[in-house]
Amino acid sequence: MGFAGNSRSIRMERRTLLKSLGSIGAVTAVGGVGFFAMSSDAAAAQVSIGATNPGTVSNDRGTIDRVTANPTFNVQWTNLDDAVGKVFYLVEANVGGTGWQPIFRATPWIGEATNNAYVRQQPGTTGSYQVKVPLSQVLNQDPRFDDGSGPDASAGPLVVADEQGKPDYSSLSFPGGVDQSSFLDGTSMGSADNYPGAHEVDGHQNNYPDIDAGYYGAASGTGPINNEADGSVKETTVQIRYTFELQRPNLSQLSYIVDFSGLSTDADKKAKAAEELDWLTESDIDAGNSELIMNGEDGNADFGTPSGITYAALRSNADNHVGILSTTASFAVRVRNEGSDSGVTGATNPGVS
């Protein structure tokens, strides 16, 4: 595995394999109507996502209820040295310069080829993962949302800002091996059901324990966006940042599609999986947590713990690892506080007799 000793042309071929990441969009400012669509025609591991501003929200008080995001995206890769079996993605937001906050994370498993109205996915050294329709629609296709074991919620657009605001993460009771720092930097999380569910009071608006994804709440309250000045328009910049990581499959994942009955060693399980699934070899499979593909190979960045990389480390290495993509879109939320006025009209209708 790996071509570290080969020519520069081969190294560059390996490093320019992510074809596209596009059509990430549908952010709505509620309290008025508006959305923005982001698109990309990225090639050679380049990602460029633009955004148009949502329409202006106008009301008497100059307030907004919430800002949400409901993305779609398409990630493709070709000719990698490791097979991709999972695609981790992180969504973060920064509302009016209040600071970046994670609002959603997920790691869909792509052990088998699928192409339906919602997703298109193909695991392997050449493959793709595409969310064809807004993310909430894709998430709601998961049968675990309605398996009777609770909480059996349903997914909605990701909350970027609302009146409930950012959760008080410092007040959480974390499971063993997890603390506030590891929770917020993504290195150790526990299960999503360790944390308050979606839209609970003081909970995490974007957390979905049924499918073990989400974890976080809004990035901000609506205070930075609201406009208290009568008769004026206030414009607030909101940024959405997306980070993607291509991961190798592991035995836990493969046990759902390969029968490991009677096999006691990891080596035997890997051999069985490689025999049954034509998109991977034994060397592609991790026994424990899934690792970043091609870690330290072919000139790609080398992480000491490739199965537990911080969000910050992923972002900072997006330009020097073929398995990492990170990009930011910005848009403006405009809120008009209608000017106050008052008056009296009517008729006296006098009479005499």
Residue 335 pLDDT > 60, yes or no? yes
Tell whether 182 and 312 lie within a shared domain.
Answer: yes
Least confident of 31-35, 119-123, 270-274, 319-323: 31-35
Tell whether 82 and 227 lie within a shared domain.
Answer: yes
In a domain, 82, yes or no: yes
Tell whether 324 and 274 lie within a shared domain.
Answer: no
Tell whether 119 and 255 lie within a shared domain.
Answer: no
Tell whether 124 and 219 lie within a shared domain.
Answer: yes
**What pLDDT, in 10s, does the model give residues 229-245?**
888 889 999 999 999 99
User: Which residue range is the domain that position 312 belongs to?
Assistant: 8-248+290-337
pLDDT at position 330:
83
**What pLDDT, in 10s, does the model give residues 50-72?**
455 666 788 777 888 889 888 88
> What's the total number of domains in the chain?
2
Distance between CA atoms of residues 265 and 247, nearest Å = 23
Bridge partners (DSSP) of residue 59 are 337
**What pLDDT, in 10s, does the model give residues 80-97?**
999 999 999 999 999 999
**What pLDDT, in 10s, does the model give residues 339-350?**
656 666 667 676
Tell whether 94 and 232 lie within a shared domain.
Answer: yes
In a domain, 149, yes or no: yes
Predicted TM-score (pTM) above 0.75:
yes
Tell whether 225 and 311 lie within a shared domain.
Answer: yes
pLDDT at position 3:
26
